[in-house]
Chains A and B, each alone.
Chain A
Amino acid sequence: MNKPTILIVEDDQAVRKLISTTVELEGYQYRTAETGREGLIELVSKQPDILILDLGLPDMDGVSIVETVRGWSNLPIIIVSARSEDQDKIRALDAGADDYLTKPFSVEELLARLRALLRRLRTDQQTSLLQSSIIENGSLKIDYAAGIVWINDKELHLTPIEYKLISLLAKNIGKVLTHNYILNEVWGKYYDDVPVLRVFMAGLRKKLRENSPGEDYIQTHIGVGYRMLRVEL
């Protein structure tokens, strides 16, 4: 894959400049747009590889842009939001955004998110070729066909819900899954007991940590959800 193109949709000039300079220095190509409308035109005409989208645009609701984009494309979307837009952030993630950054963010943080998404982009392309029923991440291995999880080549004994949780996270590796999304997928519709999810997640993480110390597979996003991190050995 040659240099990926990043579309930056951000109305604040200073932040736009900061992001564009950062990605340029890292060797990515970029395009910028100031408004949602402009951004959508760029998206259609230039077909970028990653979208960095500010939620507080003057002309359009960021969440509806995510929904529109998800109508035709799977491209990774990073949401940039202010702290006051917490609820919008979760709505955008539910609508299909992959990751988020909260202002103020550091340049390193932005670059780390970009790298993670590009890596996923690459593995997605590979796995889609292989159609493999086995996912590997660091020392973690999940066999969907057999329904077994190994860690360090040792079978991990999980309860049915824990298994569902880890499968869901692994299938969406690198992506932040909101509480609502996970509850919906694992427990079914209209179940909204987030504390129960926390308890199960804490149990799952404990099992992972005990069997593979020093590696952190599941990242908590307080108030938002969980994400499985790609672990490089």
Chain B
Amino acid sequence: MVSISLNGQDDFPLFSEASERVGKLKIYFGYAAGVGKTYAMLSDAQEILKDGLDVVVGYVEPHDRPETTSLLNGFEQLSPLSLTYKNMTLKELDLNAALKRKPELILVDELAHTNAEGSRHQKRFQDIEELLRAGIDVYTTVNVQHIESLNDQVSAITGVVVRERIPDRLFDLADQIEVVDIEPVELLDRLNKGRIYQQHKIAQALSHFFTMEKLVALREIALRKTADHINRKANQHTSTNKESPTFTNEHILVCLSGSPSNMKVIRTAARMARAFSAKLTALYVEAADDEHSDAYRSSLQSNIRLAEDSGAQIVTVYGEDIPKQIIEYARASKISKIVAGRTKHLTKWRSKQSFVDKLLDYDPNIDLYIIPDNQDGQLTSRKKTVDFSFSFMETLKSVFLLLICTLIGLWFYVLGFSEANIIILYILGILVNAMVTKGRKYSLVSSIVSVLIFNFTFTEPRFTFKVSDPGHIITFFIMLVAALITSTLTKRIAEQARQASRKAYFTEVLLETSQKLQKTSDEEAIYYETAQQIMKLTNRSIVFYPSKEDHLVDPLFFKHESFTGDQASLLNEHEKAVAEWAFKNNKRAGAGTQTLSNAKCLYLVIRGREHPLAVAGIVYDQSDRLGIFEKSLAIAMLDECALALDKEKATQAQNELYTEMQQEKLRSTLLRAISHDLRLPLTSISGNASLLSASADKLSTEHKQLLYQTIQDDSAWLIRLIENLLSITKLDSGQLQLRTEIELFEEVIDEAIQHLDPAIKDHSLNVETVDDLLMAKMDTQLIIQVFINILNNAIRYTPSGSTISIVARREGPLARIEISDDGDGLTDEEQAHIFDLFYTTNSANSDGRRGLGLGLFLCQSIIEAHGGKIYVKNHFPKGTTFGFTLQAEEVSAHE
């Protein structure tokens, strides 16, 4: 069984930018209009205003109730946003202004209000959620009939179906619920005095809604709901971990369908889940032979949305046998209770058992709740809506098949074959028909037409529909039944094959995505592969907005070949703002959603383990929406993408850690080696100095001169060491970039020569720059250090009087520097290790001090950091050549 989680996109715990505080919500809850919710809200707010808090009235419905209006005095009021829709000017809460103003507390009336077309959100409660996320406290009002889960109960009492509804989670989210309650008698009294509605509406209200029994019932529901809320809050306080809602072991499964009556089932399940503190999962079984009308599909979409809003996790599975799929899923997910509608429509005509029987058959131990379905008119909803329109191509195919059968039949007839052969021929034709045409109607009609043609053409009397031989009636009947069974069975096999291939396709595509993503090496490649996969699936262009430090950066656009529109219009500021909204709020937005639905793309958040990583936009340039199948597969792919991105980030962090560790290791090795070697010259310096200061008069002038010289030499050695160490720390500290500049080698070599070991005077030095203007990009101090180290080595390890030569020349794109001496040269063994850290040769050098084995290692590090190569080779006829290359640079200098 393949299952995909559709949810997540909308049902994510509210989190706000940079984990700022989330605003508190207080709901003034009443059982009917006119109980005084707005009044209570405003008078509370007046008190708070007196305490000095920053209170702003976001939007209050103008009711023409003088007491209420007078309470508005003293508040700062946001001017409402005016939107023109169908020649009507509608006033709405100006969300942007409210977010910009950012008061401590904002008052917004009518939580259940539906915003005018063109607003950012479809519903006002979405505006309020956004205000809360921005850290603003909100006071709002709502009536009991607007609560989603109570909708059925309320409409049962009042007979009115309320369209403006809020999901229960909003009610649960509220930190405070204040019930604004008056006696129904008093409410009716108020109504009669014209304090709720204007005079002409009173009569209508009295007859419809405001009857004593209805008000009492509504009041009871409201009070009960509040009691439930208090109960839940109390439970939350006692549970240790408030972050994650504590689920009991109960897990409720509700069966989804496209039937409008399914809403009632969902609401009941949601109420149950709340009552039991249970996890809720909504399951939709997409059967292979589902061919649904558009109405069914859109009704299914809204049912899915309702389930999401009720806090359910949406799961889609594919399978022929619906009860079996449900039970299989229930077993796998440890479902304790199943809620389903009493659904005749789920029963197939061929099954003898009812849907419920079948469920119980598969698992007798499960708790099953059947919700009566009183909307009889809607019973056909899941039944295949028979479509009487015929496609031209399919009809042509059927006619062609019948024609061929008839022609061959006539030939058989001429040859004198028996009727049985011709009947078999027609049944073969129907079999082929069932295989090649889409939809059962073609094979069904073909079956009947075949019988008629057979009757008309081949049975006596020929060319009439008359039947002379009663035996033929039996023949026709058997032929028809055989044809029908053949067509049905073949169709079923074809459908099963289609379903299997779809399932296989699903698994395959996901597997392929996962495999491809595993091979990617960087972020961009991950986006590329994901986009390719989603494009293959949806045939739409894709936009990715990667994030950097909690902000979206420039989009990556992947164009599908079918896309003909204007690319710029998909990537403009408006679209980016929608993506940014989705990212910040960690919810989907844009086309096909309830938020900012006028955008051109559907924006889905790519969620990493800890926070959103990026936003993917699927272009909605075609008029139709994405199918459930495609959407869920796309979301599954984005999950794969998130996984890959997370992995990529982790790998990067690991690499950084590794380099850091390596550097740390190098540093400590260096420190150990150096502190040992520092002691030698320091001992000599301090010893000689104290000798001189204590017994200068006892020493001969020559002896003293020798001691001075030793001190000087030792300090010079120390200085050189320190220079090398400084270079190493510079290279080593990782975060420090090379400070490169384009330099002339001539100047660099001149500078290096000025800092050589004074013993250079015993050697002859030739500098030959073949190309006067040889330049390279380098960190000058470090390259000078390379020259100094190589040259000083040459000075120290060759006998006095040797010749040292520097040759700098250009070789194609490279600058090649070679420093050669005519000393005794190095053995192959020495050459192999000369650049190793702490490698020293045994040859005695001029000052008798062993080197640290640091200099050439450093040269190698520096040259490699510059992207060059360093090498050592034998010099002809004797001696050693050290060489390195750097990328040469051209400078065009015109006067």
Q: Which residues of A contact B (CB under 8 A)?
A: 83-84, 86, 104, 159-161, 194-196, 198-200, 202, 206, 220, 222-223
Contact = CB atoms under 8 A, between A and B. Distances in A.
Contact of A198 (B719, B743, B751, B784): B743
Contacts of B889: 195
B741 interface: yes
Contacts of A159: 895
Contact of A196 (B719, B751, B781, B893): B893
A4 B723 CA distance: 35
22 contacts: A86-B781, A159-B895, A194-B741, A194-B742, A195-B741, A195-B742, A195-B893, A198-B742, A198-B743, A198-B744, A198-B775, A199-B775, A202-B744, A202-B772, A202-B773, A220-B750, A220-B751, A222-B747, A222-B784, A223-B741, A223-B780, A223-B781
Given A195-B891, A199-B893, A222-B748, A104 B719 contact: yes
Nearest to B715: A104
Most B Cβ at <10 Å: residue of A104, A161, A198? A198
Nearest to B719: A104
Tell me whether chain A's interface is mostly helix, strand or loop, or mixed.
helix
B747 A200 contact: no
A160 to B, nearest CB: 6
Nearest to A104: B719
B500 interface: no
A195 B726 contact: no
Query: 8 nearest interchain CB pairs?
Result: A195-B742, A199-B893, A195-B891, A222-B751, A220-B747, A196-B893, A198-B744, A223-B780
Nearest to B722: A104
B772 A206 contact: yes
B836 interface: no
A223 to B, nearest CB: 5
B746 interface: yes
Most B Cβ at <10 Å: residue of A161, A199, A200? A199
Interface in B717-764: 719, 723, 726, 741-744, 746-748, 750-751
A162 to B, nearest CB: 9
Nearest to A221: B751
A202 B891 contact: no
B187 to A, nearest CB: 78
Nearest to B747: A220
Contacts of A198: 742-744, 747, 775, 891
Nearest to B774: A202
B719 A199 contact: no
A199 B747 contact: no
Given A160-B895, A195-B889, A222-B751, 4 more contacts: A199-B773, A202-B772, A220-B751, A222-B748
A195 B781 contact: no
Nearest to A161: B895
A83 B747 contact: no
Contacts of A196: 891, 893
Given A206-B772, A223-B741, A199 B781 contact: no
B712 to A, nearest CB: 9
Most B Cβ at <10 Å: residue of A159, A160, A200, A223? A223
Interface in B840-895: 889, 891, 893, 895
Contacts of A222: 743, 747-748, 751, 780-781, 784
Nearest to A84: B726
B524 to A, nearest CB: 33
A217 to B, nearest CB: 14
Contact of B726 (A83, A161, A206): A83
B889 to A, nearest CB: 7
Contacts of B742: 194-195, 198
A203 to B, nearest CB: 8
B545 to A, nearest CB: 36
Contacts of B751: 220, 222
A200 B743 CA distance: 13
A9 B244 CA distance: 66
Contacts of B743: 195, 198, 222
